[in-house]
Structure 1
């Protein structure tokens, strides 16, 4: 257990729970450095569940819409965000459930390299069961097939359902909390500090409902010693009950009844708290009293719409647009693969495994260099995919056999997950045509110059 002092607890409440300032880049360190999630360069993984009533997907993914203005903002920040949504696991189950550990946790860890090389953008990780009919099972790690599907901010907003009314309600909570804190510090805190002392604090800690049961039923309680002896005897004489044992059936009925009662109590409690919340913080009078009805603007700061931020995004995109035609065979190959994979079906883990094996076999590029090339080429395609594709022939070598081997490697990677979709096959055909066009483009200047009786720039340089 971590014991926090009053200042630490108050800071967490003000800045995270009530203020929610991390999602809007409002937190600064003691040195004046702004804590901005947009500065994170490693992939951000967000795992949430529809069955989580403490941190549901609406809350777990809400920070994305708070922090970014649009999809180009994510791209300009060079960030990769991957989220996965479980269907029904509860809040604690996300961390301790065995089924989640065998599925989501294992898939996240086994595909961490795939996530790490993903181009900047927003993605959802989708997991489907591995079957006997799955294509290329040797490329699948574990019992699930992981697919990374591209998403947009509109997809996240459809889950979160942001609204000005909700923002105003929670902004009212924040203002009321700040007022109450000020009143407490002025009128109540001096009395609390006057009567507070170390023994009283230690006693309150021991009788805390989260601590006391463990103390009462621990070995430190002398009355629990007989229980330990009885448990040892039961352990040595234990035998399984038959399935039709009436006591076993009664146990199952009582257990299910307890579960149903707790579920009903939880739902009733949640409804009551929601009604109380709406009854207090949805009142226009209270919102006006705390200064939230003087304008129709959003009560929360959104860093993505600041003028300097928009200027930064535009400058970053212009800089990348100027480098679209740069690169050689590696860049052209990865650009073609990314273009093929940019359809709505996403990237299958088998595609990445085939690409990884190809890269390892050739040994031509380190993993870090590969990651950088992937990000750069994806950025080029996102900025202007027609211009990026048109530049591919000029990036390829003149040797036809090298281009042919590269196309064959591309085909192996595309077919790693089975027969491609019609859209993906069309994109593959286009990439093959671009590789073929490279040879024609390199032959055409020489033939044209010879036919018309003048030299090309390259031949003039050679003659010089």
Structure 2
């Protein structure tokens, strides 16, 4: 009896374990039920796939939209369109704020991923009060449309947005996701007057860049012999390139997740993961097509040719696409966890185009980068956590981004605490701060050495040779035997599409799954996590994933070694016209004589105007001087807005931006002369000088205590603002500093 009582006590305490045979039976029932439910999830996925692709305009936007302009109605028709996002009932947008335009990638999947969730890029812009637009596309291209046609169409879309918002305080902020990023940058380089700040998320711009051992995708073009295979695929597809091939390339980067992890996660947690899985698969299975000519341009000019970051692309009307022509701030958002667009490919174009940060400033450009530590490629513009934090801060601080002095910055988000903010500055949970950076900061991320550059230059020339051989000897025959009917069947049987159709109601073998799944839900008997066979199941799954990860790592390493050996061969390099004594295997625009001449002319112009201006120019020059090297953040923008509200005759945002950039450049080219000219630019009134100095101090002190360097610069400005009457123009404590001090001591 005593033993029986102890057994009951252990059972009541949750310590009792069922016999192994009973645990095995319970696990067998649970596994069988999960298998039926998993098959039903796949069936629902297949039906969802068919329903989605039968829609006239398939997309995954969560928000209601209204068509504004169809690309099919343009002189050069394209399959793109501009829609306005209808704000949810609980969101109010301000027509005075600049509009946001989100452009989604056409990289194998359909549109809508930028507004896939309520917490998204579009959601963040709406929550910040900005009108929002979306540029999407149809599954099939208009016959004959080219990348240039798409650029012209998107320019027409932006012109329409600007026309609809004449009262907006600034041109549209344009967000380009992944492949759309380079397309937006190309357009901004040719039509800079249409753009406010440009945000590119997970966008490759420097295609050869990367680090050995971690970025295998950049070797693909060389391992396939260049772009001839792209031409062959387009010819077999009847003039269209099937986007499912791009999806297959992405999936191949992570065999553990593709072949096992993604499906196992749903099967093992089918009671909770089904809806999330179906939601994502609706987009993942929405494959779209490109014209063969479009895809050939992308591979030849970008992925293999790497001509965008070196200003080598020239449009059909003779315009060179040079990213240095972009006049709006550029914010590059990337992640160390992204194996599709690693940071080197997202930021390497800066090192390709410019010689130094001073070169960036001389062109009047502002470049910002934001680095996430872990998020994957899709998470950059899909993850709700990223949208709530990074994209929300970008949206709410877009005016600050638009007024940063020329230069290179890193966006850093610091938590909002009671110590680092005045109580009367209304800010969110994070404070966006923009810290000055140098080219050494970019180089520390790693990159190619000269030998690697020569290897990729060899790939480009080999690709040109192979493409020429294919077009001369094989393409005529392939195009003769290719047919639209055969292309349709090849697309339908593609490995990325076939599972969707096989596991659907169109397959008679799946007819009984729905009924069985309903019965299982009524009689569901899940096992607990303490079941020994469930634990064994998870252990085996981890072993399978580890094995696939090891195989993937071995494959990537082998491919890298093959690439390095083949394209590092001196014989092959010599055969394509490259030699080891060549100093530069590719073009660097920042070193060209015309670029150096432009910089010299710009410096001479700025020096000649260094004494021009009045109180406004002098105050902004002083503000830039004191804050140089100290970083800028949204607390300073909040104070600037407050000062501007106190002076209703204040500058418009665009005028303030123009003066800020000019004064920054004048300090850059000749700081002593720019400071010496300040007293002559100021009015004689002691009151006006004191008021201007107070405004400068109020902005600087909004971040809290000043360091020694900033204090020394502030003292220099106080002396320059003195009117020579013995009355120094000094303001010892501003309202912002007083509020911060009071809050810290309370």
TM-score bracket, normalised by the shorter chain, equals 0.7 to 0.9
1:196 paired residue number: 482
2:313 paired residue number: 27
State the secondary structure of the residue aligned to 1:378.
helix
1:115 paired residue number: 401
Write out per-residue CA displacement over residues 312-359 of structure 1, whole angstroms, 9 at most, x where no aligned residue: 11101111121111111111111111111112x311221122112211
1:86 paired residue number: 372
2:668 paired residue number: 382
Task: Note the 1:256-271 alignment, pairs <5 A.
Answer: 256-271=542-557
State the secondary structure of the residue aligned to 2:414.
strand
Shift of 1:253: 3.8
Task: Note the 1:39-50 alignment, pairs <5 A.
Answer: 39-50=325-336
Write out per-residue CA displacement over residues 136-167 of structure 1, whole angstroms, 9 at most, x where no aligned residue: 26536332222111122333233344432121
Name which of structure 1's ranges 44-53 and 197-206 shifts more when overlaid on structure 2.
Answer: 44-53
Shift of 1:26: 0.8
Q: Does residue 1:103 correspond to 2:427, yes or no? A: no
Task: Tell me if structure 1 keeps the 8 A contact 2:421–2:635.
Answer: no
Q: Does residue 1:308 correspond to 2:581, yes or no? A: no
Shift of 1:133: 3.2
CA distance in 2, matches of 1:69, 1:22: 17
Name which of structure 1's ranges 176-185 and 139-148 shifts more when overlaid on structure 2.
Answer: 139-148
State the secondary structure of the residue aligned to 1:27.
coil
Q: Does residue 1:54 correspond to 2:378, yes or no? A: no
Shift of 1:239: 8.9
Shift of 1:53: 2.0
Task: Tell me if structure 1 keeps the 8 A contact 2:686–2:723.
Answer: no
CA 328–284 in structure 1, closer or farther in 2 if over 3 Å, else same: same
Name which of structure 1's ranges 263-272 and 415-424 shifts more when overlaid on structure 2.
Answer: 263-272
Q: Does residue 1:10 correspond to 2:296, yes or no? A: yes
Shift of 1:92: 2.1
Identify which of 630, 633, 639 aligns with 1:348.
633
Q: Does residue 1:274 correspond to 2:560, yes or no? A: yes
Q: Does residue 1:434 correspond to 2:720, yes or no? A: yes
CA 279–294 in structure 1, closer or farther in 2 if over 3 Å, else same: closer
Write out per-residue CA displacement over residues 353-388 of structure 1, whole angstroms, 9 at most, x where no aligned residue: 211221122221111111111111111111112211
Task: Tell me if structure 2 keeps the 8 A contact 1:140–1:349.
Answer: no
Task: Note the 1:241-256 alignment, pairs <5 A.
Answer: 242=528, 244-246=530-532, 249-250=535-536, 252-256=538-542
CA 357–261 in structure 1, closer or farther in 2 if over 3 Å, else same: farther
Task: Tell me if structure 2 keeps the 8 A contact 1:71–1:153.
Answer: yes
Shift of 1:406: 2.2
Shift of 1:225: 4.5
Task: Tell me if structure 2 keeps the 8 A contact 1:394–1:438.
Answer: no
CA distance in 2, matches of 1:417, 1:351: 7
Name which of structure 1's ranges 260-269 and 172-181 shifts more when overlaid on structure 2.
Answer: 260-269
Task: Tell me if structure 1 keeps the 8 A contact 2:334–2:380.
Answer: yes
Identify which of 166, 173, 193 aligns with 2:452.
166
Task: Tell me if structure 2 keeps the 8 A contact 1:334–1:377.
Answer: yes
1:227 paired residue number: 513
| TM-score, normalised via structure 2 length | 0.56
Task: Tell me if structure 2 keeps the 8 A contact 1:339–1:427.
Answer: yes
Shift of 1:402: 1.9
CA 104–239 in structure 1, closer or farther in 2 if over 3 Å, else same: farther
Shift of 1:436: 1.4
CA distance in 2, matches of 1:383, 1:102: 40
State the secondary structure of the residue aligned to 1:61.
helix
Q: Does residue 1:397 correspond to 2:700, yes or no? A: no
Identify which of 485, 498, 516 aligns with 1:212.
498
Identify which of 411, 416, 441 aligns with 1:125.
411
CA distance in 2, matches of 1:340, 1:324: 18
CA distance in 1, matches of 2:682, 2:336: 48
Identify which of 645, 657, 660 aligns with 1:360.
645
Aligned alpha-carbon RMSD (Å): 2.5
Task: Tell me if structure 2 keeps the 8 A contact 1:329–1:396.
Answer: yes
CA distance in 2, matches of 1:24, 1:268: 33
Task: Tell me if structure 2 keeps the 8 A contact 1:393–1:438.
Answer: no
CA distance in 2, matches of 1:127, 1:340: 22
Count of aligned pairs: 441
Task: Tell me if structure 2 keeps the 8 A contact 1:393–1:441.
Answer: no
1:414 paired residue number: 700
CA 245–170 in structure 1, closer or farther in 2 if over 3 Å, else same: same
| TM-score, normalised via structure 1 length | 0.88
CA distance in 1, matches of 2:484, 2:653: 56
State the secondary structure of the residue aligned to 1:26.
coil
CA 213–357 in structure 1, closer or farther in 2 if over 3 Å, else same: farther
Hey, which of these two has a bigger chunk of helix by percent?
A: 1
Gaps of 5+ in 2: 1-286, 729-746
Gaps of 5+ in 1: 443-464
Shift of 1:441: 11
